[in-house]
A and B are shown apart, each in its own frame.
Chain A
Amino acid sequence: MLFFSFFKTLVDQEVVVQLKNDIELKGTLQSVDQFLNLKLDNISCTDEEKYPHLVSVRNIFIRGSTVRYVYLNKNMVDTNLLQDATRREAMSERK
């Protein structure tokens, strides 16, 4: 639940998603679900030369399991809060 909770806070923010097939997509995070499937809006591919088929795509649904990285802006994350959330998660698991 922690990651889901975390990614929910990134909704409407611009992120770069790198897929496991090396495609990198920049776009506004539209929604995320508990499988960390992502919906991106207004996407642009960082390497359009290589993946021309993505040039005309505006929005995309990405299955969570195909995501390698999600690049975030540093100020999108409240690290202290994230630490706390992590601790809470660990605590609730131990119970």
Chain B
Amino acid sequence: MSFFGFDPTAPQQQSHPQQHQHQQQQRSQHQQQRSQQPLDFEDTYKGYGDYQAEDEDFLNDETFGNNVELGNNFDFGHSQQQQQQPQVGQPPAAPVPHRSYVAAAASGTSQQAHMDAAVDLRPMESLWNPNSGAAANTAGPTGDQAEQPRVLSMEEIERNQRQMQMHPPPPPPQGYPAMQGYPMPPGNFMPPPGQNYPMMAPPPQQQQQHQQFQQMRPVFNQPNYMGYPGNAPPPHHQPQQPHQPQKQQMVAPQMQFPPQQQQQQQPVQQAPEQQAPHEQQLASQVAMPQMDRSSSSLSQSSNERDNFKGHPRQPHQRQPRNREPLTPEEQKRLEVRHAKVEKILKHSGLMTPRDKDFITRYQLSQIVTEDPYNEDFYFQVYKIIQRGGVVGESNKGLIARAYLEHSGHRLGGRYKRADIALQRMQSQVEKAVTVAKERPLRKQEKEQSRENSNTEGSNSAGVSSAGQSNDNRDGVLGKISSSLNSKAPRRQLQIPTSNKTLLNSLLVNDEHATAAKPTNPDALMEVTESLGNVELSQTARVRRRSSYAFTSVDQSSVLSRSGGRKFVLSLIETVYEEVLELEANLRSGKPIDNKKLWEALHINDELYEVCPFISMLSFDKGVKIMPRIFNFLEKDQKLKLLQTFFSELSHLNIIIISSYKTNPEPTESQLKQIDIFQTVFLKIIVSFLSSSSNFIEIMGLLLHLIKNNNVSFISTSKIGLNLITVLISRAALIRQDTNRSNMLSSPEISTWNEIYDKLFTALESKLAAVFPPKEYIQKVTSVHLKGHVAPGATPQHYDQAYIWQFLASLALSGKLNHQRIIIDEVRDQIFGTINEAEQLKETAKTPTESVDDLVYRREKLYQDLNLFLNVMGLVSRDGEISELK
């Protein structure tokens, strides 16, 4: 016995070319002796010893089998057959049984497969066929008698080895006649008396079979996956069941073992072979020797195939009706079925449930996480959003279910016993989590990153450190790496992060230095609570000039004044991170501290001319995060934020984009941006104002707006106008409310009047300017049209409702003289709107516009207009303005 199937006792191996090289000198000396003498070491030495011995090499036999050639990849199912084939022509001199565990396992499985079915669904023979004896005689498989003893148990092989050591290899002819498939005396299956190779004798045979029976259990359990024995029979074994009765019948009359032994232990398949009738034996032996020689250690399953192909007369599956010759069709079908069965059985039984358990656990450990909301964030949250919140279901349960659902473990029917399997699987996952926990991942990663920062992005560092720690697992499950897993896959690019952040901070500092102009921190700007103080500060005055607004038209200049584009973008990311952190805390019930978030917002930052927070809002993602920020802010923080927001409205990119003055030709994407801002940010402001702010606070915000901005410019933009509308309409509502209960103090009212006067003065004589010019309207509609090319979509019309809303709320808060001024200024627009509506009535309908559509538009125009007119007790209808009754 030696490594890899090298057989020191086999003379025919001399002709092996490799050996040739190694042994040229010795060869001449030993040539003559070789034929009669036992081989000695020098003869057969292949030079493998030149390689350094490795640990546990002595186990190689057990691992690989002892008759496998070097340099071959293992095909556990068929390697023997393939490798042995070339030796067909060689004399069958080697007496050493070419048994490998591999082959034994393979043949074992095929037997087990039969057993599986047999145990479960074996009918009583006597019930089925009283003439089975005859059937067996005529149809019993032939010539395979040599097969049976080939499968050896561990004990047998050990015994053989011991005997081999004691007795030098015996002369070939006496060896194992039966095993070699030589013709032997009919009926005499036993080796000649006096032979001391017990493997041929019945007792070990039984033992062996018994062992196989035990081996069988894993296979039998396999479909249950986790070792629930005895569930429904595995589906892929079912095709075999029909054969069983016949086989049993064939076997029964010639039973040599005690019946109960037969019942339990005798692999059905082997029995007929062993007890094959003599005449059949003789007949088949003509064909057998060649095959047997070539496959002295053939696995049974491959043997079956060989028999089947080479000797169509012999298949043991043959059934009583086979007395009539098989039709080609049947034969073909049998062949196909057989091939299928064999394919299934090829590798079955190689792994015990424990093996599978281990591998499953390992695979799962790569998938499961302790912290699903961190590492599996998208999936978890997505599922919650989709299902409307299945929070109760744990990550582990989900994984177990998914695994069961998709890994094809049917458990004898997809739904049968699924809950037990699920429980079982969940406990698997628990274990897997433990494995994952034990993985020294964190530590390694840290090491890795440290190394990387030292070596500046060299890949090798990470790989080598990962490689060392996994040596123990390598080879068992292929290449497994605990640090390079799905959570931390191999990087294509490795950027030394620590250096980068350093660089970044340097960069930012640099930007700070260049961007931070010496500004005059005017105390007045921050005094908001002093309501009476409407005096304009120096900077505020500058800001109010209309020319100043245009300095903010260029977005990049605004950005640079608030720290630079990069700085703003990184700030947004910081804000996101803080919000995510806070949200994670919220989920896990940890206390929430928004200090860092507040700092990241840079609300009170005096360092920059334009508050970075305002610049954040010029990016869509900065706008989108706002509602989530608001979830974590205290009320006074929100107020502060809004104060800053209204103070710096002129710098707000969205105002500039949405103003027809600064952006007469808005693009589609800009219009989208406006939409987003409106839906996201305006909503926040409205909800804040309506839910938690009082009159004074609203006045304060309005004051901030008027003090620091050019109101007439802001009013030319849709967003700006909306913002003003929100403030004054809310104030008007509160005033109406409190009028009834007299809650407003007179100073409050007087302050409000003062502020309103300020606002009105700023807007006076420019009220008509809130209406965008025709060109702008056309442009916007055309862009909208381009965006919605879908046929059938109703053509968009510029919705002026927001303007009338503004005028309405402005008029609502004003006195009669204010209202008169407003009407004076927008008279043209009022009549223009009425005209437009009336024209719509008269226009013959165009193919693109249905009557309904025209009616709707007309109604809409009147509705919007009346919103404003109603405030003054007027109403317009059918081209006329009348008093509201």
Contact = CB atoms under 8 A, between A and B. Distances in A.
Interface of A: 1-2, 4-6, 8-9, 11, 30-31, 33-35, 39, 78, 80-85, 87-89, 91-94
Nearest to B624: A80
B382 interface: yes
A93 B367 CA distance: 17
Interface stretch (B536-544, B572-580, B752-760): B572-580
B486 interface: yes
Of the candidates A80, A84, A88, A92, the one having the most CB atoms from chain B within 10 angstroms of its own CB is A88
Contact of A81 (B378, B485, B488, B621): B378
Given A33-B367, A78-B385, A1 B577 contact: no
B246 interface: no
A66 to B, nearest CB: 17
B553 interface: no
Interface residues of B, number: 32
Interface string B83-106: 000000000000000000000000
Contacts of B374: 88, 92
Contacts, number: 72
A34 B486 contact: yes
A interface secondary structure, majority: helix
Given A1-B369, A1-B486, A34-B485, A83 B375 contact: no
B366 interface: yes
Contacts of A80: 624
B378 A6 contact: yes
B376 A5 contact: yes
Given A1-B486, A35-B486, A91-B580, A8 B379 contact: yes
A67 B363 CA distance: 21
Interface string B559-593: 00000000000000100110011000000000000
Across the A-B interface, the 8 shortest Cβ-Cβ residue pairs: A34-B486, A31-B406, A85-B378, A5-B379, A5-B378, A85-B377, A9-B382, A8-B379
Given A5-B379, A30-B406, A84 B580 contact: yes
A94 B497 contact: yes
A1 B621 contact: no
Given A1-B369, A1-B375, A34-B367, A87 B383 contact: no
A83 B621 contact: yes
B344 interface: no
Contacts of B366: 34
Contacts of A87: 573, 576-577, 580
A9 B378 contact: yes
Given A9-B383, A34-B366, A91-B577, A1 B376 contact: yes
B515 interface: no
B interface secondary structure, majority: helix
Interface in B337-394: 363, 366-367, 369, 374-383, 385-386
A37 B226 CA distance: 24
B399 to A, nearest CB: 10
Given A9-B383, A85-B381, 15 more contacts: A1-B376, A5-B376, A5-B379, A6-B378, A33-B363, A78-B382, A78-B385, A81-B382, A84-B580, A85-B377, A88-B580, A89-B377, A91-B577, A92-B374, A94-B497
B734 to A, nearest CB: 35
Nearest to B406: A31
B336 interface: no
A83 B487 CA distance: 18
A91 B209 CA distance: 60
A75 B410 CA distance: 32
B874 interface: no
Contacts of B463: none
30 contacts: A1-B369, A1-B375, A1-B376, A4-B376, A5-B375, A5-B379, A6-B378, A8-B376, A8-B402, A9-B386, A11-B406, A31-B402, A31-B405, A33-B367, A34-B486, A81-B381, A81-B382, A83-B621, A84-B377, A84-B381, A84-B576, A84-B580, A85-B381, A87-B577, A87-B580, A88-B374, A88-B580, A91-B577, A92-B374, A93-B488
A36 B406 CA distance: 14
A43 to B, nearest CB: 16
A45 to B, nearest CB: 22
B204 to A, nearest CB: 44
Nearest to A87: B576
A34 B362 CA distance: 12
Given A31-B406, A84-B377, A1 B487 contact: yes
A12 to B, nearest CB: 10
Interface of B: 363, 366-367, 369, 374-383, 385-386, 402, 405-407, 485-488, 497, 573, 576-577, 580-581, 621, 624
Nearest to B445: A93
Nearest to A35: B486
A92 B375 contact: yes
A87 to B, nearest CB: 5
A3 to B, nearest CB: 9
A8 to B, nearest CB: 5
A35 B487 CA distance: 11
Contacts of A94: 497
B621 A9 contact: no
Contacts of B386: 9
A56 to B, nearest CB: 17
Contacts of B624: 80
B856 to A, nearest CB: 30
A2 B385 CA distance: 17
Nearest to A88: B377
Contacts of B367: 4, 33-34
B629 to A, nearest CB: 14
Contacts of B485: 34
B377 A5 contact: yes
Of the candidates A1, A81, A85, the one having the most CB atoms from chain B within 10 angstroms of its own CB is A1
A33 B87 CA distance: 45
A73 B365 CA distance: 31
Contacts of B382: 9, 78, 81
A2 B464 CA distance: 25
A6 B581 CA distance: 20
A41 to B, nearest CB: 10
Contacts of B487: 1
Contacts of A93: 488
A76 to B, nearest CB: 10
A31 to B, nearest CB: 3
A67 to B, nearest CB: 15
Nearest to A39: B406
Contacts of B369: 1
